[in-house]
Amino acid sequence: MSSQPIITATCSAPVNIAVIKYWGKRDTKLILPTNDSLSVTLDQDHLRSVTTARADISFQKGDRLWLNGVEEEIGTEGRLRTCIEECRKVRKGMEAKDGSLAKISGLPLHICSENNFPTAAGLASSASGFAALVATLAALYGLKPTLNSSDLSKFARQGSGSACRSLFGGFVAWQSGTEASGDDSLAIEVAPREHWPTLQALICVVSDAKKGTPSTAGMQRTVATSPLLQHRIKDVVPARMEAMRKAIKDHDFDSFADLTMADSNNFHACALDTAPPIFYMNDVSRAIVQLVEEFNRASVAEGKGKRIAYTYDAGPNAVLYAEEKEMKTILAVIRHYFPNTDFDDTFNLLGAGANASHRGAQEAVPLPTNEVPKGFNENVIPVQEPGAVRRLIHTRVGDGPRVLHTWGDGKGTAGDVKESLLGEDGIPLRLQRAKRA
Amino acid sequence: MSSQPIITATCSAPVNIAVIKYWGKRDTKLILPTNDSLSVTLDQDHLRSVTTARADISFQKGDRLWLNGVEEEIGTEGRLRTCIEECRKVRKGMEAKDGSLAKISGLPLHICSENNFPTAAGLASSASGFAALVATLAALYGLKPTLNSSDLSKFARQGSGSACRSLFGGFVAWQSGTEASGDDSLAIEVAPREHWPTLQALICVVSDAKKGTPSTAGMQRTVATSPLLQHRIKDVVPARMEAMRKAIKDHDFDSFADLTMADSNNFHACALDTAPPIFYMNDVSRAIVQLVEEFNRASVAEGKGKRIAYTYDAGPNAVLYAEEKEMKTILAVIRHYFPNTDFDDTFNLLGAGANASHRGAQEAVPLPTNEVPKGFNENVIPVQEPGAVRRLIHTRVGDGPRVLHTWGDGKGTAGDVKESLLGEDGIPLRLQRAKRA
């Protein structure tokens, strides 16, 4: 038994999907963006990264990190190291100022991180992953209230740019800032989830044989070669950020949809304007766009305004935002044109019970002709090949990082120890289970 | 027999494919563009529109026009009427000035126009078609030398914007001009075909189930909604026009390719930035881009510079430009990755005789591994579905409109009467043949 305090903390952090996109860095080391961006945080009840960190003098090999059960090299520099050392440095300063604080900043760390969504879901896990890392170290080191979430977002930002936005729930802006140090490049809350709790998302996971250009390399190629990107940065995004804040403030879905779709297309236009060009959307992505545009066109013609917004990150998957009351119809429309998709029915839209699992080959789903807007052109796209949309994930706007469990430092236990990813020996439980099996 | 002079003229005009794209009108009636553009004229030996016009007092139903054997309504306004009346007006003025000229400007016209390439080739026929119409009326009315080809290009421009560029061979600029009248919006020759006679083109006709947005409607939607287009117009195109003129002047294929590909992507980026977005390229188009980019990358790495340039108009078809000496390799590469394509071997690259026809299902074409650049990544794209590229058309830079046949007005016959599309009765021969059959 060690005589040192043993400290462990476990936090979860959410995925966020930008509606005003981040594309381009002005500083690649500090990860300072060329423009502001704005995102919706998705619900951790459905998609999350969880991280457990433990500080222990007995960890003789120094700092170690496991990601989804595989040990990763932290190294002496790089993004993981930066995030860890930024947090450690603050703790060290606190310990120097306050002699009553346990001296844990110098102890080796074991860190274990997992995502509850498979890589196969096609969702970037770096945002939720780095947010969970920073939230966990903040809990471990007791960095709050010395630092607030915006302060912590600067640490997460240096792990993965968009991770800074996962430090908040609801609607979040990443202010690009102007300082060379990056000190003003941070996330702020635009509105909490409670402001617009009926906003939901349907993630359409699109099959794609080909791995696209990694976003880190892609965005710098765009910065270097696209003449249009400069215009996006200077003239397009600033006005859209203002308009988007207003749309969210007013619960104005029509404007929210307009801006979200326009900015997704604007970002992909800049990717296409890159030399060599970068393509993320494929023919299935484009079919979803055409379907949504036709649905909205007919809805606007009926006087009901736009009812669906699409957005695409650096890949072929669509994220559709809509009001809760629209989702049943939208789901049916998507399942009609994109047959044989996997769907876990989070909110029991299909009436077979919450979280009922609908897998692969299914009966053809009829178009809900009574629910689609009058004048909707059913032939806007043909019914696609089975499995073109591989999986649907239904979720909603969510909250920021959660502290799931802490233990030690004289404070005893809080939260649910079952959430911890590390065993008492500081080794991932997942690996111990695998060994026993 | 009529006592009036009977006049008939037949001309052909070429297709042109822009390397700096036209997209957007500042005046939709006069067809004045938002920016300059620049094109390569393709060889009429392979792709052409032919028009015969005849003026005859006996045509009691007035002006009539047949397009590919189908009579079209000329109407009292619209593009066809504008082109015809512009030419007629000039003739009328000439007749008023010079009493010795036959008074034919007031006679009814029969006009017959045909393309030697099927609509299925996916090539826009409006440019060559309107250029052939104007060239034919200019021959009929003897408008040269009163008017030069740039003057005539202004008439063709009012039929279809890019038609103005088909009034010249070789390398042609369409100057957008600044006057509200459109009087300075015309085509000029940048260089004749003889300047760079080894420049060739391989048109890859891509199968596409879906008809895209018509370009006339599409470009005005881009003008109305794309923030990026304004940047393209003001800052991107002017510099590229200059650089492209220089590349052509210097026979600098590397720069020519760079500019051609960048401008194609820039145009499609603006189409994507439109609300709702416009997609012309599909997954097969994108596969061709990726293949060409990889070929060029490996070639540049070898110190040989870029050797292929792609460009895409308002559709999924690729036009590949390359030097004559590269075409055999390029053809083999395309046929390897895009199996089962139709190919008429214009220049006998495959050794089965000039114009030998290679149809549909074929033996797999091996990659010419000794001819592709060292370090070329064979797995850049998978071998595509058979028929993904439906047809290949091999051609080269060509000349401007040709006068094929004229007859009457006291000048007797010139050229080959077999080229005339109208019979002695002023009815399309094609219809007469159909009737006899």
- Could you tell me if A314 and A324 are in contact, meaning their C-beta atoms sit under 8 angstroms apart? no
Interface check for A26 against chain B (CB to CB < 8 A): the answer is: no
**Interface touch B272/A277, C-beta < 8 Å:** no
- Name beta bridge partners: B133: none
A169 min Cα distance to partner chain B (Å) = 30
Look at residues B324, B328, B321, B320 and name the one whose alpha carbon lies nearest to residue B350.
B328
**Interface touch B277/A265, C-beta < 8 Å:** yes
Q: What is the DSSP string of B374-426?
A: TT--TTSSPPPPTTSEEEEEEEEB----EEEEEEETTS-EEE-GGG--B-TTS
Q: What is the DSSP string of B307-369?
A: --EEEE-SSS-EEEEEEGGGHHHHHHHHHHHS-S-EEEETT-SSSS-TTEEE-SS-PPPPP-T
Q: Where are the alpha helices (DSSP H) in A125-225?
A: 126-141, 149-159, 215-225
For residue B235, the 8-state DSSP code is: I
Taking contacts as CB-CB distances below 8 angstroms, the residues of chain A near B230 are 231
Q: Which residues of chain A have pLDDT under 50?
A: 1-3
Gap between the Cα atoms of B82 and A73, Å rounded: 72
* Pairing mode of beta strands B318-323, B413-415: unpaired
Residue with tokens 């002695």, as numbered in its chain: B424
At B189, phi and psi to the nearest 5? -80, 125
- Count other C-beta atoms under 10 Å from residue B344's C-beta: 15
Q: Which residues contact A393 (CB under 8 A, 6 or more apart)?
A: A46, A47, A117, A121, A202, A203, A205, A344, A346
Interface check for B288 against chain A (CB to CB < 8 A): the answer is: no
CA neighbours within 13 Å on the CB side: how many for A102?
A: 17
pLDDT at res. B1? 40
Gap between the Cα atoms of B82 and A141, Å rounded: 79
Residue type for B373, please? Answer: P
The alpha carbon of B383 is separated from its chain's Cα centroid by a whole number of angstroms, namely: 30
pLDDT at res. B76? 93
pLDDT at res. B433? 82
Local structure of A428: helix, strand or coil? strand
Nearest Cβ partner for B272 among A210, A268, A290: A268
Gap between the Cα atoms of A183 and A157, Å rounded: 11
Q: Which of A21, A231, A255, A267 is best to mutate for the B interface (most B CBs within 10 A)? A: A231
Output the CA–CA distances (angstroms, integers) from residue B400 to B36, B184, B248, B341, in the order listed.
Answer: 20, 21, 18, 30
Interface check for B211 against chain A (CB to CB < 8 A): the answer is: no
- Could you tell me if A75 and A234 are in contact, meaning their C-beta atoms sit under 8 angstroms apart? no
Gap between the Cα atoms of B124 and B219, Å rounded: 15
pLDDT at res. B434? 81
pLDDT at res. A212? 77
Nearest Cβ partner for B276 among A228, A274, A293: A293
* Pairing mode of beta strands A413-415, A16-20: unpaired
Nearest Cβ partner for A269 among B262, B270, B289: B270
Look at residues A366, A428, A420 and name the one whose alpha carbon lies nearest to residue A140.
A420
Gap between the Cα atoms of B307 and B300, Å rounded: 9
Query: In the β-sheet with A342-345, what is the strand arrangement from edge to edge?
Result: A309-312, A318-323, A199-206, A389-396, A342-345, A356-358
Output the CA–CA distances (angstroms, integers) from residue B75 to A430, B80, B107, B152, B216, in the order listed.
Answer: 78, 8, 16, 22, 20
pLDDT at res. B122? 66
Gap between the Cα atoms of A58 and B216, Å rounded: 73
Gap between the Cα atoms of A221 and A214, Å rounded: 11
pLDDT at res. B3? 45
B211 min Cα distance to partner chain A (Å) = 11
Whether a cis peptide bond, with omega within 30° of 0, leads into A192 is no
Taking contacts as CB-CB distances below 8 angstroms, the residues of chain B near A227 are 231-232, 235-236, 266
Look at residues B430, B413, B427 and name the one whose alpha carbon lies nearest to residue B54.
B427
Residue with tokens 């809805």, as numbered in its chain: A299
Gap between the Cα atoms of B125 and B120, Å rounded: 11
What does the block give as tokens for A285? 């992505």
Taking contacts as CB-CB distances below 8 angstroms, the residues of chain B near A274 are 265
Instruction: Output the tens digit of pLDDT for each of chain B's 437 residues.
Output: 444 567 899 999 999 999 999 999 999 999 999 999 999 999 999 999 999 999 999 999 999 999 999 999 999 999 999 999 999 999 999 999 999 999 999 999 999 999 988 765 667 789 999 999 999 999 999 999 899 999 999 999 999 999 999 999 999 999 999 999 999 999 999 999 999 999 999 999 997 766 778 888 999 999 999 999 999 999 999 999 999 999 999 999 999 999 999 999 999 999 999 999 999 999 999 999 999 999 999 999 999 999 999 999 999 999 999 999 999 999 999 999 999 999 999 999 999 988 888 887 677 899 999 999 999 999 999 999 999 999 999 999 999 999 999 988 666 788 888 999 999 889 999 888 888 77
Interface check for A377 against chain B (CB to CB < 8 A): the answer is: no
B262 min Cα distance to partner chain A (Å) = 7
Interface check for B303 against chain A (CB to CB < 8 A): the answer is: no
Interface check for A301 against chain B (CB to CB < 8 A): the answer is: no
- Count other C-beta atoms under 10 Å from residue B131's C-beta: 38
Interface check for A291 against chain B (CB to CB < 8 A): the answer is: no
pLDDT at res. B402? 98
Taking contacts as CB-CB distances below 8 angstroms, the residues of chain A near B268 are 272
Full set of structural domains in chain A with CATH: 7-193+402-436 (3.30.230.10), 199-396 (3.30.70.890)
Nearest Cβ partner for A282 among B235, B277, B283: B283
